């Protein structure tokens, strides 16, 4: 029996060197040749083929776990061994910094201290998407719109940063935003595994990126809301998908990837994952100068069940919260890299759990942060909570009002008509929240089944009379996996079924019940211009400040 020794790379060295898994892959490649019938399928400590084997011999015990000693065995075929030896030598010289001594006999050992098992590329699909060119142009020119777009377009992927936080330190993890990747086929980083997040609007880009990686021989794993509902579609483009929340299966994914044994599917939408086990996201991987906000998640799911909802209710079927201590640890990690951060809570419905938030907010005041959250209108019911929110740095709450008229709210939810029941308090509730110095961003979904062509004037009038500081309008969007998608499909009302590019919340992909597609298209744009014009944007801001000033003056004099 002959054997060939070689060493392993270390990340202490500045020059990029091959990871252990990468080395194993190279060995597999050099060994799998038609020249030799025997020397193929050589894997790191993993015997697939009795002809050739890469192994850690007994010397491991003698040297202790700080050293790795490898040997490539080949028996029963001298030619195969020579061939393998030559090729392994080339690979080692090209890719290893400390390949040890080459000889035909004896083991070779190198320090293993910081050896990297896998290089993992986490690739986030950042930025915003709109297919309609005219809307995009408007979005880039209207002051009110531009501001919000700029803010949100720069948020990082919390999902991927969370997985990075859960990755053991023996892997080397890089977080990359899609726009930072070079054009063309090149994928920097010599990755052993690429993990891509997915939203429907950018799924074609994500699949194209997966193709690029796989052409380079890099296995691709995908996760996120889109592939959670369409894993079979995704598996046509990538090697493996994670369905639902990523954390519970991440350790298994890593183990399998290391052993070249990725399964096609991991996870489920019904996992019992406890957010008490959640890691602190690896915010330190970010180039913080590129971001004007960072996200923190305190909860998943939502107590309501809106027909069109494609948020985290897609990932988990129950509302659950992260313990206060975990959330505070995440904020402290952010504070370590950013002195006065702006934090956007990436929850579907943050403040609905009032006792929890009262506890959390007690700790915020000393931290000097400003924050934003998405919630429902019930937050207005608790003035103590509103006081705490203001005092702890809350700048704005975004509230899904959905419709300025009752007609649109009928059957919006699957379980009950909670929002319809709240409708009569909408204006008062907005006034109460804003009177605490917290601005409200009211969101309306245009094209709901109860909406007629009057809806455009009704939205504008509501925003003006309720004195909303900020407003967001979106077009009703059938996201895959939602009850809305299934219903519109059954009713034959989808314009381009499975054209996921249109899942932007701004592009129309359904036939509205109460108006034509053209009416929705043209009047929506007009409403965008009206709502986000410089004049109306300034009026909204001025009115908020003026009301607050008057209220404070009144309070001081009484
Ligand atoms: C922050 C945010 C953004 C950020 C995203 C930053 C980024 N690069 O990811 C920004 C502002 C850029 C953004 C943009 C858009 N967004 Co957005 N956004 C959100 C928001 C508010 C929070 C998402 C979040 O951070 N969740 C918390 C993390 C922890 O959860 P997660 O990302 O789902 O990750 C978990 C799992 O999905 C899984 N996972 C995720 N990725 C991966 C990858 C791998 C490999 C694995 C294994 C697992 C895994 O593991 C994670 C941990 O469990 C949600 C609304 C909400 N409240 O959920 C909307 C939401 C995700 N956005 C939405 C939309 C429509 C958009 C836009 C299309 C809007 C537009 N017109 O441009 C764009 C598309 C972005 C793009 N480039 O693709 C929809 C998506 C619906 C869908 N099913 O596709 C949502 C749900 C809002 C909604 N009202 O419906 N968004
Ligand atoms: S209230 Fe918002 S997050 Fe909750 S189910 Fe409805 S759309 Fe989804």
Which tens digit of pLDDT belongs to each residue from 163-192? 999 999 888 899 999 888 888 777 876 799
Question: Are 198 and 73 in the same domain?
Answer: no
Residue 312 lies in a domain: yes
Answer whether residue 52 shows pLDDT above 80.
Answer: no
Question: Are 216 and 67 in the same domain?
Answer: no
Question: Are 123 and 110 in the same domain?
Answer: no
Are 398 and 420 in contact by the 8 Å Cβ rule? The answer is no
Residue 496 lies in a domain: yes
Nearest CA to ligand 2 atom 1: 304
Answer whether residue 144 shows pLDDT above 80.
Answer: no
CA distance 48 to 159: 35
Are 319 and 299 in contact by the 8 Å Cβ rule? The answer is yes
Question: Are 383 and 480 in the same domain?
Answer: yes
Question: Are 339 and 473 in the same domain?
Answer: yes
What are phi and psi for residue 498, nearest 5 degrees?
65, 10
Report the candidate in 190, 217, 193, 12 with the shortest Cα–Cα distance to residue 97: 12
CA distance 23 to 11: 14
CA distance 212 to 217: 9
CA-angle at 191, arms to 187 and 197, nearest 5°: 75
Last residue of a domain, one of 65, 98, 114: 114
SS (H, E, C) 388-399: HHHHCCEEEEEE
Q: Beta-carbon neighbour count of residue 549 at 10 Å? A: 10
* Structural domain boundaries, residue 87: 20-114
Domains in the chain: how many in total?
A: 3
Pairing of strands 52-55, 67-74: antiparallel
Centroid of ligand 1 to alpha carbon of 155 (angstroms): 10
Centroid of ligand 1 to alpha carbon of 264 (angstroms): 22
Share of the chain above pLDDT 90, in %: 64
Q: What is the mean pLDDT of residues 34-55?
A: 34
- 158 touches ligand 2 (CB under 6 Å): no
Question: Are 316 and 182 in the same domain?
Answer: no
**Structure confidence at residue 220 (pLDDT):** 97
CA distance 78 to 200: 54
Answer whether residue 373 shows pLDDT above 50.
Answer: yes
Candidate from 155, 203, 238, 241 with most ligand 1 atoms within 8 A of CB, to mutate? 155
Question: Are 221 and 368 in the same domain?
Answer: no
**CATH code, 252:** 3.40.50.280
User: Helices marked H in 112-237 — which ranges?
Assistant: 133-141, 143-153, 158-165, 203-215, 225-229, 231-234
Q: What is the mean pLDDT of residues 230-238?
A: 98
CA distance 448 to 56: 64
Residue 298 lies in a domain: no
Question: Are 364 and 402 in the same domain?
Answer: yes
- 305 touches ligand 2 (CB under 6 Å): yes
Question: Are 129 and 54 in the same domain?
Answer: no
Answer whether residue 432 shows pLDDT above 50.
Answer: yes
Answer whether residue 63 shows pLDDT above 80.
Answer: no
* Closest approach atom of ligand 1 to CA 297: 27
**Structure confidence at residue 21 (pLDDT):** 63
Confidence band for 66, pLDDT divided at 50, 70 and 90: very low
The more confident residue out of 373 and 155 is 373
**Structure confidence at residue 146 (pLDDT):** 62
Q: What is the mean pLDDT of residues 428-444?
A: 97
Instruction: List Cα–Cα distances, 402 to 146, 199, 439, 469, in angstroms.
Output: 22, 22, 17, 16
Question: Are 357 and 454 in the same domain?
Answer: yes
Tell me what the pLDDT averaged over the chain comes to: 82
- 220 touches ligand 2 (CB under 6 Å): no
**Structure confidence at residue 209 (pLDDT):** 95
Answer whether residue 101 shows pLDDT above 70.
Answer: no
Tokens 């519109």 label which residue?
488
Indicate the pTM of the whole model.
Answer: 0.87
Answer whether residue 311 shows pLDDT above 50.
Answer: yes
Answer whether residue 310 shows pLDDT above 70.
Answer: yes
Q: What is the mean pLDDT of residues 258-274?
A: 91
CA distance 242 to 265: 6
């Amino acid at each position: 029996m002959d054997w060939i020794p070689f060493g392993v790379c270390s990340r202490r060295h500045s020059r990029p060197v091959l990871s252990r898994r990468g080395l194993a892959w190279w060995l597999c490649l050099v060994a799998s040749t038609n020249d030799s019938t025997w020397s193929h399928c050589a894997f790191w400590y993993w015997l697939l083929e009795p002809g050739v084997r890469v192994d850690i011999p007994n010397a491991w015990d003698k040297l202790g776990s700080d050293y790795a000693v490898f040997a490539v065995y080949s028996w029963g075929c001298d030619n195969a061994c020579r061939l393998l030896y030559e090729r392994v030598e080339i690979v080692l010289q090209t890719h290893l910094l400390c390949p040890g001594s080459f000889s035909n006999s004896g083991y070779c050992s190198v320090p293993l201290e910081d050896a990297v098992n896998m290089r993992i590329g986490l690739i986030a699909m950042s930025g915003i998407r709109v297919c309609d060119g005219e809307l995009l142009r408007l979005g880039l020119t209207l002051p009110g719109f531009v501001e919000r777009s700029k803010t949100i377009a720069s948020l990082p992927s919390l999902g991927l940063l969370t997985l990075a936080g859960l990755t053991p330190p023996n892997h080397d993890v890089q977080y990359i935003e899609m726009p930072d990747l070079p054009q063309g086929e090149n994928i920097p980083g010599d990755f052993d595994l690429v993990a891509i997040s997915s939203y429907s609007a950018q799924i074609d880009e994500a699949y194209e990126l997966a193709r690029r990686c796989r052409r380079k021989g890099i296995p691709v794993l995908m996760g996120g809301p889109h592939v959670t509902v369409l894993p079979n579609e995704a598996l046509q483009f990538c090697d493996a998908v994670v369905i639902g929340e990523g954390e519970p299966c991440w350790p298994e994914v890593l183990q399998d990837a290391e052993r070249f044994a990725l399964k096609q599917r991991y996870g489920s939408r019904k996992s019992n994952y406890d957010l008490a086990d959640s890691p602190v996201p690896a915010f330190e991987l970010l180039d913080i100068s590129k971001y004007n906000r960072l996200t923190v998640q305190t909860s998943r799911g939502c107590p309501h069940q809106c027909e069109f909802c494609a948020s985290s209710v897609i990932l988990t079927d129950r509302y659950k919260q992260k313990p206060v201590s975990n959330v505070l640890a995440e904020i402290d990690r952010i504070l370590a890299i950013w002195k006065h951060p702006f934090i956007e809570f990436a929850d579907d419905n943050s403040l609905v759990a009032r006792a929890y938030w009262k506890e959390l907010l007690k700790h915020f005041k000393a931290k000097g942060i400003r924050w934003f959250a998405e919630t429902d209108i019930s937050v207005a019911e608790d003035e103590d909570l509103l006081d705490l929110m203001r005092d702890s740095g809350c700048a704005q709450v975004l509230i899904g009002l959905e419709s300025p008229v009752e007609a649109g709210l009928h059957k919006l939810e699957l379980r009950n008509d909670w929002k319809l029941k709240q409708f009569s308090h909408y204006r008062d509730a907005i006034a109460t929240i804003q009177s605490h110095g917290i601005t409200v961003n009211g969101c309306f979904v245009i094209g709901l089944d109860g909406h007629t062509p009057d809806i455009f004037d009704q939205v504008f009038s509501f925003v003006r009379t309720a004195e909303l500081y900020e407003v967001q309008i979106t077009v009703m969007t059938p996201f895959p996996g939602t009850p809305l998608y299934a219903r519109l499909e059954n009713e034959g009302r989808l314009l381009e079924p499975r054209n996921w590019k249109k899942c932007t919340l701004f592009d129309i992909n359904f036939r509205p019940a109460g108006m034509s597609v053209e009416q929705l298209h043209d009047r929506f744009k007009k409403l965008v211009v009206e709502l986000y014009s410089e004049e109306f944007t300034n009026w909204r801001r001025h009115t908020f400040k003026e009301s607050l000033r008057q209220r404070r003056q009144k309070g001081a004099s009484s």
